[in-house]
Amino acid sequence: MSSTIDIAATATDRPPVLDDRALLGHPRGLGLLSLTEMWERFSYYGMRAILVLYLVNALKWDTARAAHLYGTYTMLAYLTPVLGGYLADRVVGTHRSLVIGSAVISAGHFTLAFPGMTAFYLGLGLIIVGTGFFKANASTMVGQMYREGDPRRDAGFTIYYIGINIGAFLGPLVCGGLAQTDRFGWHYGFAAAGVGMLLGLCGYVWGRAKYLPGIGMRPSRTDPATRASSASHATAGPGANPLRHALAGAIAGGAIGWLVSGFDMLGVSMGLIIGAALGVSFLGSHGEERKRVTALFIVVFFVIFFWAAYEQAGSSMNLFADKYTNLNFAGRIIPSSWFQSVNPFDILLFAPLFAAMWTWLGRKGREPSTALKMVLGLALLATGFVFMVVGGSHADTGVTVSPMWLVWAYTFHTWGELCLSPVGLSYVTKVAPARLASLLMGVWFLANAAANSIAGAVAAYTPTPGEAPPAPAAGLGGFMQSVSATNHGFYMIFVVAGFGAAAVMLLFVPLLNRLTSSVRA
């Protein structure tokens, strides 16, 4: 019997949460999870909005160094969820992971509120570890509230995504607002992020027993779906040993990471983790399951291109707002970090419209497949960068430009995101076998990890006024330097890469649809 059938059969043993329809037709636990994730994202994006600006303006780092640190930090914050996911699937359970993660994240932000470089690096480290426990597991728990084939799942993820973005919208306003005024300052901004996460933790602990009974428990003891699924897997044949698979994958991945990154420790860690995740999920699955896992990895590969360009928001586009944009608004200067709130605000505006559009198309039997939506997402993202190229070419003449260039770029990015990200989260919970649910959610976030490190490396070439151009380099570095001599040249990179990735992914759509043909709703 396939594990898919097991999941469906045992889902009826689940608590009544699955039948709760009290929140807009969804379980009330969805509201609780969305609120908790809202506060977590409030802290993440609030702090992210000021990180590069703090490094460049307060600590006087040069752009390249700041962009690298930003890239490394955000990469690690998205790399650890795969480890947290694995731990949750096998030992801790998603509920406990969420509690541990929230506590460690808020400790991290509070540590950043203290001056000094030791506190700074320690704080970043704590946030990275805490996010590992938190991020993938929060999304997996949303998936745990719907049975296989439940048509409410996509809509549930849209609601959850709105929660994420209320946090992402308020974070930069509050933390950036405090950080970029003389009355308070940077460290108040960091502390505000900590307060947000703490509120999220308190709310979750308060409402959990009532709204999420039985969800997210330790897997083997209480979750029948996972137990049944691992039992069926145990009979799948000899050699079905996750540790052996992880080790085989890690060795191969680590070696590739070592070579590709030119012997860089971060590259090796990335290779080890991606390899181990591939080993556990690919070698540890069979038949239909393996096809779905393969599809997921192909999708994740293309999604890297999306996030690598999209993540310019916190670094190069953040600096574009700070250095090249006219910040005079109705007689006062607005903090440049506030531009970070445009994208989440657009999400709040457009997510319901996109959800309604998919449902409408679905009713007519014309809803695009998830893979095709992602192609569209990449194309919309690339279109957004066309606005940066045009706005950038004005900035290149030495004037400060209208904020509308950034606003339009972010709006197109948001439309692209809505075709790719909420549907992506939902897709992962549909294609993943229950025993690998959180691990594979972590794999989805691995795309963000890889993308953030690429994004940071590219953003290091951000044209910055008053900074001497770096010494001429050969090879790829030299090429990047020459295209990045101007704003319009720099942003053109993302137009070309975005449309290129969309075109190639389009060729993969039929294959991806075939590999996931057994997925219901």
Under the rule (CB under 6 A), what is the footprint of ligand GLU? 41, 164, 421, 424-425, 445, 448
Burial class (CB in 10 A: 0-12, 13-18, 19+), 184: middle
User: Which residue stretch of 72-80, 162-170, 206-214, 508-516 sits at the interface with ligand ASP (rule: CB under 6 A)?
Assistant: 162-170
Angle at 86 between CA 81 and CA 90, to 5 degrees: 145
| CB 64, min distance to ligand GLU, A | 25
Q: Which does 424 bind (CB under 5 to 8 A by kind): ligand ASP, ligand GLU, none?
A: ligand GLU
Phi/psi class of residue 458: alpha, beta or left (left: φ > 0; alpha: ψ in -120 to 50)? alpha
Check residue 342 for interaction with ligand ASP (CB under 6 A).
Answer: no
| CB 329, min distance to ligand ASP, A | 20
Check residue 81 for interaction with ligand ASP (CB under 6 A).
Answer: no
Using the 8-state DSSP alphabet, how is residue 26 labeled?
B
Check residue 233 for interaction with ligand ASP (CB under 6 A).
Answer: no
| CB 484, min distance to ligand ASP, A | 23
- In sequence order, what DSSP letters do the residues of 247-293 get, joined into one string? HHHHHHHHHHHHHHTTS-HHHHHHHHHHHHHHIIIIIT--HHHHHHH
Nearer to ligand GLU, 4 or 448 (CB): 448
Interface pick for ligand ASP out of 43, 165, 337, 452 (rule CB under 6 A): 165
User: Which residue stretch of 161-169, 249-257, 401-409, 424-432 sits at the interface with ligand ASP (rule: CB under 6 A)?
Assistant: 161-169
CB 391 within 8 A of CB 383: no
Nearer to ligand GLU, 41 or 208 (CB): 41
Q: What are residue 334's phi and psi, to 5 degrees?
A: -90, 145
Nearer to ligand GLU, 302 or 445 (CB): 445
Tell me the pairing of strands 332-333 and 328-329.
antiparallel
Helix extents (H) in 311-435:
316-324, 342-363, 370-395, 404-431
CA distance 302 to 142: 24
Phi/psi class of residue 236: alpha, beta or left (left: φ > 0; alpha: ψ in -120 to 50)? alpha
3-class DSSP state of 364:
coil
CB 389 within 8 A of CB 495: yes
| CB 344, min distance to ligand ASP, A | 5
Q: Which does 344 bind (CB under 5 to 8 A by kind): ligand ASP, ligand GLU, none?
A: ligand ASP
Q: What is the CA radius of gyration of the chain?
A: 22
Q: Which does 448 bind (CB under 5 to 8 A by kind): ligand ASP, ligand GLU, none?
A: ligand GLU
CA distance 14 to 34: 21
Check residue 3 for interaction with ligand ASP (CB under 6 A).
Answer: no
Q: Which two tokens stand for residue 202?
A: 């308190």
Interface pick for ligand ASP out of 50, 129, 159, 168 (rule CB under 6 A): 168
CA distance 49 to 42: 10
Tally of CB atoms within 10 A around 468 = 7
CA distance 355 to 339: 25
Check residue 89 for interaction with ligand ASP (CB under 6 A).
Answer: no
Q: Which does 493 bind (CB under 5 to 8 A by kind): ligand ASP, ligand GLU, none?
A: none
Nearer to ligand ASP, 45 or 508 (CB): 45
Q: Which does 425 bind (CB under 5 to 8 A by kind): ligand ASP, ligand GLU, none?
A: ligand GLU
CB 441 within 8 A of CB 139: yes
| CB 241, min distance to ligand ASP, A | 36
Interface pick for ligand ASP out of 27, 123, 344, 416 (rule CB under 6 A): 344
Binding mask 44-73 for ligand ASP (x = CB under 6 A): -x----------------------------
Of the candidates 60, 171, 168, which has an alpha carbon nearest to the alpha carbon of residue 421? 168
| CB 459, min distance to ligand ASP, A | 15
| CB 417, min distance to ligand GLU, A | 7
| CB 461, min distance to ligand GLU, A | 24
What angle, rounded to 10 degrees, do the helices at 186-211 and 28-53 form?
170
3-class DSSP state of 326:
coil
Check residue 164 for interaction with ligand ASP (CB under 6 A).
Answer: yes
| CB 314, min distance to ligand ASP, A | 8
Q: What are residue 23's phi and psi, to 5 degrees?
A: -110, 95
Nearer to ligand ASP, 4 or 343 (CB): 343
Whole-Å CA distances, 362 to 272, 354, 358, 500: 40, 12, 6, 28
Nearer to ligand GLU, 196 or 489 (CB): 196
CA distance 516 to 411: 31
Residue number with the smallest Cβ distance to ligand GLU? 421
Check residue 417 for interaction with ligand ASP (CB under 6 A).
Answer: yes
Nearer to ligand ASP, 168 or 217 (CB): 168
Burial class (CB in 10 A: 0-12, 13-18, 19+), 215: buried
Binding mask 345-374 for ligand ASP (x = CB under 6 A): --x---------------------------
Ranges within 296-315 binding ligand ASP (CB under 6 A):
313
Nearer to ligand ASP, 130 or 253 (CB): 130
| CB 70, min distance to ligand ASP, A | 14
Nearer to ligand ASP, 225 or 347 (CB): 347
Report the interface residues with ligand ASP, using CB under 6 A: 41, 45, 164-165, 168, 313, 343-344, 347, 417, 421
